[in-house]
Chain A
């Protein structure tokens, strides 16, 4: 039994077969093996969120996921959110609300926001959600967005604009879902 393993993942809707060092994280597989450098390495220890991607639809820190453990998984990175020339509504909202400065945490923020909007629509509570028995979906108030987006640090301090961008994208998703 060696220390490399063949792994097949579906990344941004394309099947990718890789022979990887067992030590390789999903983050390093994306950045160093697949040229998908949109996903950023901020801390490499699950403490900043810059590496956030969607794994089987759920947002996770790709720096703490061993790629070898993800055989068969579906991964969506920031590069996979937009199709052709059309930006994902969350990406567009980040531009419209000037929700970034240096841009380094931005792909992670955007993937995280996409995940957060789905989670809230699925009725998942957060620490900011009142304890009453929930109905259908959780409305993304500013307090909800702040709590749900807290796994993505932004040292430039663009949080205020990130919250408004996510609020707009969430509202648009709600409208579209009606």
Chain B
């Protein structure tokens, strides 16, 4: 780890000014991803600006029955928040399926969303990686990629997003509020992360100095049920091979409203718009779920060792939707 300076300003404007004015500056939240990558030499900030104590630590009800979640709220606090558990069970489940209790107690919501995508080559500074060193190459395509992306990858990068939180937020139509040197703006969560394309070094659309201040959830759709399910190599404390967040409202045996997002398949949470469209108004049966999900997954471009993810994602999505539709 390289030496760095540390600042803990007490107001957001000062924090933003500090980072905006220093190209080597990074925000520090809970540090669970950033400090890990600094030890590996993957991240080499010259200045850390600690935002974990800024006044973004509240979960508040919005007027319309939604929630505004401060970016400095710890993952465990959000997961256990009574309103989250009541209104957005998929969000609570996603958070509780992520990492370990210790990491959830330290990690912040903002930091969770901004964790770097994962790939063993990205983490190993002795090897080429287009995300770490643009233009150096991507050994993962031919190398070890069992965990890596099948959707939205490019020839330059096949890393995967590992945030469980982001998958649930994608399905819940969350909005991300940002503050930066040029003022504030808001984005749909699904626009926050970007696919690698030919610039895999950029995980998100944030500009330098921009800070996530809050995540806002619209009120949950009435009568809809939501769930998050994650498949991994061991029963707990592991990244997803594939995960699914779904919101489903069935009326008279037909899909009235559905939202579906996948994790573990791409560099960003994958909102399955195609499957949602295909399901609208269709009978809530396993067959129509499967047909719709298959439509979405035709975009998959699996490599030698990660093709299982396509079948896994399909079966998992059907199982979650069937569970929400109480077909069992």
Cβ contact within 8 Å between B102 and A61: yes
Q: In A41-89, which residues have CB < 8 Å from any B CB?
A: 44-46, 49, 52, 55, 58-61, 64-66, 68-69, 71
CB contact under 8 A between A150 and B236, given known A59-B101, A125-B80, A127-B97: yes
- Asked whether A14 is an interface residue with its Cβ less than 8 Å from the other chain, the reply is no
Distance of A147 Cα from B97 Cα, bound (Å): 10
- Shortest A106–chain B CB gap in Å is 15
Interface membership of A123, Cβ < 8 A: yes
Contact of A112 among B35, B101, B106 (CB under 8 A): B101
Within the complex, what minimum Cβ distance (angstroms) separates B159 from chain A? 18
Q: Are B5 and A64 neighbours in the complex by a CB distance under 8 Å? A: no
| Of the residues B3, B85, B97, contact of A134 by C-beta under 8 Å | B85
**CB-based contact B96/A127 at 8 Å:** yes
A151 touches B85 (CB 8 A): no
One of A17-25, A90-98, A169-177 at the interface: A17-25
- Tell me, rounded to whole Å, the shortest Cβ–Cβ distance linking B45 to chain A: 10
Query: Are A59 and B6 also in contact (CB < 8 A) when A66-B28, A125-B79, A127-B236 are?
Result: no
From B28, B32, B80, contact of A123 by CB (8 A): B80
Q: Is the CB of B35 within 8 A of A25?
A: yes
The docked-state distance in angstroms from the alpha carbon of A56 to that of B52 is: 14
Summed over the interface, the residue pairs from A and B with CB atoms below 8 Å come to a total of 116
Which residues of B30-80 are within 8 A (CB) of A? 31-32, 35-36, 38-40, 48, 50, 52, 76, 79-80
B2 smallest CB distance to A (angstroms): 8
Stretch at the interface among A1-9, A30-38, A160-168: A1-9
Is A99 interfacial (CB-CB < 8 Å)? no
With A and B bound together, what is the CA distance between A21 and B3 in angstroms? 8
Kindly state whether residue A178 has any CB partner on chain B within 8 Å. no
Q: Max chain B CB contacts within 10 Å: which of A2, A21, A61, A127?
A: A127
Query: Contacts A69-B50, A69-B52 known; A115 to B6 CB distance under 8 Å?
Result: no
B93 interface residue per 8 A CB criterion? yes
A148-B76 Cα distance, complex, nearest whole Å? 12
B6 touches A151 (CB 8 A): no
